[in-house]
């Protein structure tokens, strides 16, 4: 059976970046993804750029899923965005709380992602298929794993169709999370978010910030390669492909790739997975 995949982009800031993303998309389109998603800067900082990329994806004949984060936003501004997407025929969205950009003090009219999901359902009924975020290694601000799981259940019960996880390198954390969610009656798909590894320094910094554990054996090995980018790339490909294999064998309902607007690693991993 064909594995369903989806692929995430961020909206580029420059015309060169946009051009490069078009060529990345052309390559990744060959993988026949279920949808391409496009991130959204909290507080609306990428509103126009996200929409522009989403429209291009839709015009190319692919399903596009704009991310939408609610922190720092008013109900009216979210309503406007939803109406824009509806008018453009967009039928998916990834609903998030987001993180307030530094220097922005206004939290706006939404506190948590479940309130956004409720709002989208109240405003647009069943028009959108809604994805939410899940954290197999727990969200860094969560009071406890139990609280985080309950917050996740609230988002799902508010009307989300499925979830995409934060990236992780520990398959057991994912299986444990799915089991705990299922014990709470959540049967909707929880799709693992996969981060292809392009380099170690940035990955380590980013993982610390978003609460993803890089297991010691992996960290040590990456560190031992120093500036040898070829070895880092080769090891990263092996590790992430093996992770995907394990996840799919264990019943993961698909894979969501954080492409970072690059085609090569995602393509190679999918080819290795056949
Ligand atoms: P929530 O589900 O609201 O949870 C946030 C925190 O609040 C958690 O710790 C949770 O346990 C806690 N919480 C929830 N409800 C309550 C409650 N009622 N009382 C107390 N605590 C509560 N960020 C962007 O800015 N743009 C993007 O495009 C984007 N895309 C993403 C895509 C994916 C697949 C993932 C996994 C993350 C993405 N993020 C994005 C990052 C995300 O916005 C951050 O992780 C953010 O900190 C949390 O968003 P959330 O929707 O998970 O929030």
Distance 154 CA to ligand 1 centre (A): 12
Q: What's the length of the chain?
A: 274
Distance 226 CA to ligand 1 centre (A): 33
Statement: residue 101 has pLDDT above 80: no
Note the pLDDT tens digit of each residue in 179-230: 999 999 999 999 999 999 999 999 999 999 999 999 999 999 999 999 999 9
Q: Could you give the angle at the alpha carbon of 206 between the alpha carbons of 166 and 69, nearest 5°? A: 50
Note the pLDDT tens digit of each residue in 35-89: 999 999 988 889 999 999 999 999 999 999 999 999 999 999 999 999 999 999 9
The residue among 137 and 108 whose pLDDT is bigger is 137
Global pTM reads 0.98
CA distance 232 to 235: 5
- Ligand 1, residues at Cβ distance < 6 Å: 39-40, 42, 67, 69, 94, 96-99, 112-113, 133, 139, 141-142, 147-148, 151, 155, 164, 166, 193
Cβ contacts of 240 within 8 Å, gap of 6 or more: 194, 195, 196, 197, 265, 269
List the catalytic residue out of 8, 115, 131, 137.
8
Distance 166 CA to ligand 1 centre (A): 10
Nearest CA to ligand 1 atom 22: 151
Q: Is 8 an active-site residue? A: yes
What domains can you pick out in the chain, each with its CATH number?
5-272 (3.20.20.220)
């Amino acid at each position: 059976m064909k594995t369903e995949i989806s692929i995430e982009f961020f909206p580029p800031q420059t015309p060169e970046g946009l051009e490069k993303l078009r060529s990345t998309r052309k390559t990744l389109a060959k993988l026949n993804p279920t949808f391409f998603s496009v991130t959204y800067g909290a507080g609306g900082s990428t509103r126009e750029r996200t929409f522009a990329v989403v429209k291009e994806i839709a015009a190319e004949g692919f399903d596009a899923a704009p991310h939408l984060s609610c922190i720092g936003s008013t109900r009216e501004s979210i309503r406007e965005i939803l109406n824009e997407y509806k008018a453009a025929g967009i039928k998916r969205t990834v609903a998030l709380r987001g993180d307030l950009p530094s220097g922005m003090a206004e939290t706006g009219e939404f506190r948590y992602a479940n309130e956004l999901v409720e709002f989208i359902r109240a405003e647009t009924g069943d028009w959108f298929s809604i994805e939410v975020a899940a954290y197999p290694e727990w969200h860094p601000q969560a009071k406890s794993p139990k609280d985080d799981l309950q917050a996740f259940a609230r988002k799902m019960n508010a009307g989300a169709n499925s979830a995409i996880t934060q990236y992780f390198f520990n398959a057991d954390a994912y299986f444990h999370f799915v089991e705990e969610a299922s014990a709470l009656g959540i049967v909707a798909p929880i799709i693992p978010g996969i981060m292809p590894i392009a380099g170690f320094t940035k990955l380590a910094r980013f993982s610390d910030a978003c609460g993803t554990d890089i297991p010691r054996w992996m960290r040590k090995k990456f560190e031992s390669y120093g500036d040898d980018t070829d070895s880092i790339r080769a090891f990263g490909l092996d590790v992430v492909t093996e992770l995907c294999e394990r996840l799919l064998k264990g019943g993961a309902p698909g894979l969501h790739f954080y492409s970072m607007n690059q085609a090569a690693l995602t393509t190679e991993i999918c080819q290795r997975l056949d």
